Amino acid sequence: MNDNFVNALITWYLYNKRELPWRETTNPYFIWISEVILQQTRVAQGLPYYEKIIDEFPTINLLAASSEEKILKLWQGLGYYSRARNMHTAAKQVMAEFNGQFPNNYTELLLLKGVGEYTAAAVASLAFNEPVAVVDGNVIRVISRYFGITEPIDKPVVLKKIKSLAQELLLKEKPALYNQAIMEFGALQCVPANPQCGNCPVFWHCQALKDKMVNQIPAKQSKTKVRERFFYYLIIKEGKNVFLNKRPSGDIWEGLYDFPLIETEKQIELHELMKNHSWQLFFGDKSIHIKQISSLVKHILSHQRLNVHFINIEAGNLLTNYPDNWIRINADTIHGIAVPRLIDRYIHSNDFNKLFADCT
């Protein structure tokens, strides 16, 4: 039965696979870059970023020698910025600890920053033909449905079982081909919602289909609660200059810049915000001019929902003492700074452009 499953998946893959640049090479550096990008990103979104990064850093030594700021700017808009920082650290590891040669086996790949079991298996099998099974979300879904695994996949014992099955199914003489096939099958055919069971090449042995549980498998124990947050960004203008805030170490946006921020427990009115401790620290009793308050902007992050207002403030030259993590820059140069997607959208908006339109 398992041989039929493997053969059917490979046949399906050869007819249906997408033509992607990292599938046309065995260069471990290129494959690794693609896997880092695709950890939390769909192929359609990730492909332009892959091309940008490879174009800018065609070799790992160039990536290692780059500044973090440049890498974060290239990564801007892709989210989960720790991936970019880990990628940079891992590149420097390869140069310092492996004499510039990418590790060529699963065990050593795991030593690199940000490389977990899935990424190590992907690079080891695709670049070096090592017979180790990849287990990503797509693979988990395919195996769970095919074998009718109804237990929550986020239970360690269940995930261990799935990994064991994945290794048993692996076509040992052609691990790269098989791993690509099962991942692609999960991405295109055995999709999370409403999969194409009617023309599935392995439907005859799919236990979830037999039990009419396709849309219930895979299952999880519980969903993470979404946290509601309330942000007030201060666009503090001094002539042609504007203030930015560098996000601290350990932050979700570490190393990126946003505007000075006041976070509150709930949405409040401006007069309440002006009594806030942070507002008083920033401005005290200085005579500032509030030019505009944006309408509510909602921004969704993983397990967080941001409720955001942008407040345009004319400060003249009143801010002489400000926090060490603030910088004052010319507004014309702001597009070269690495910022979160939320901030990038704002600085491309009419509200921001109008704020500096009368400056010469």
**Other beta carbons less than 10 A from residue 66's beta carbon:** 16
The two structure tokens encoding residue 89: 């650290």
* Whether residue 246 sits in one domain with residue 324: yes
The maximal CA–CA distance of the chain, rounded, in angstroms, is 78
**Residue 256, strand partner residues:** none
Contact of 62 with 54, CB cutoff 8 Å: no
Going from the C-alpha of 250 to that of each of 11, 18, 67, 81, 192, the distances in angstroms are: 45, 37, 18, 11, 32
* Whether residue 234 sits in one domain with residue 168: no
Number of residues assigned to the chain: 360
Q: Does the active-site annotation cover 69?
A: no
The two structure tokens encoding residue 110: 């795991």
* Whether residue 265 sits in one domain with residue 169: no
* Whether residue 236 sits in one domain with residue 325: yes
- Helix, coil or strand: residue 264: strand
Question: Among the options 35, 108, 184, 238, which is catalytic?
Answer: 35
* Whether residue 183 sits in one domain with residue 79: yes
* Whether residue 134 sits in one domain with residue 31: yes
* Whether residue 241 sits in one domain with residue 163: no
Q: What is the CATH number of the domain that holds 96?
A: 1.10.340.30
Contact of 296 with 311, CB cutoff 8 Å: no
* Whether residue 251 sits in one domain with residue 178: no
Q: What is the CATH number of the domain that holds 232?
A: 3.90.79.10
* Whether residue 94 sits in one domain with residue 231: no
Residue 115 has what DSSP assignment?
Answer: -
User: Which domain covers residue 298, as residue numbers?
Assistant: 227-355
Residue 213 lies inside a defined structural domain of this protein? no
Residue 174 lies inside a defined structural domain of this protein? yes
Residue 94 lies inside a defined structural domain of this protein? yes
What is the residue-level pLDDT of the chain in tens, covering all 360 positions? 577 889 999 999 999 999 999 999 999 999 999 999 998 888 999 999 999 999 999 999 999 999 999 999 999 888 888 999 999 999 999 999 999 999 999 999 999 999 999 999 999 999 999 999 999 999 999 999 999 999 998 889 999 999 999 999 999 999 999 999 999 999 999 999 889 898 899 888 889 998 899 999 998 887 778 889 999 999 988 888 889 999 888 778 888 999 999 999 898 888 888 888 888 888 776 777 888 888 899 998 878 899 999 999 887 766 666 777 888 888 888 988 989 989 999 988 887 887 777 654
Domain count of the fold of the chain = 2
pTM: 0.81
Looking up tokens 């892709």 gives 78
Residue 122 lies inside a defined structural domain of this protein? yes
Residue 197 lies inside a defined structural domain of this protein? no
CA atoms of 87 and 73, how far apart (whole Å): 14
| Sign for the pseudo-dihedral over CA of 274, 276, 281, 284 | positive
* Whether residue 125 sits in one domain with residue 242: no
CA atoms of 280 and 215, how far apart (whole Å): 53
| Sign for the pseudo-dihedral over CA of 83, 86, 92, 98 | negative
* Whether residue 350 sits in one domain with residue 258: yes
Residue 194 lies inside a defined structural domain of this protein? no
Residue 77 lies inside a defined structural domain of this protein? yes
Q: Say if residue 313 is exposed, middle or buried (CB neighbours under 10 Å; 0-12, 13-18, 19+).
A: buried
Residue 193 lies inside a defined structural domain of this protein? no
- The alpha carbon of residue 240 and the mean position of all alpha carbons in its chain are separated, in whole angstroms, by 33
* Whether residue 341 sits in one domain with residue 249: yes
Residue 120 has what DSSP assignment?
Answer: H
- The alpha carbon of residue 222 and the mean position of all alpha carbons in its chain are separated, in whole angstroms, by 22
Contact of 331 with 347, CB cutoff 8 Å: no
- Helix, coil or strand: residue 51: helix
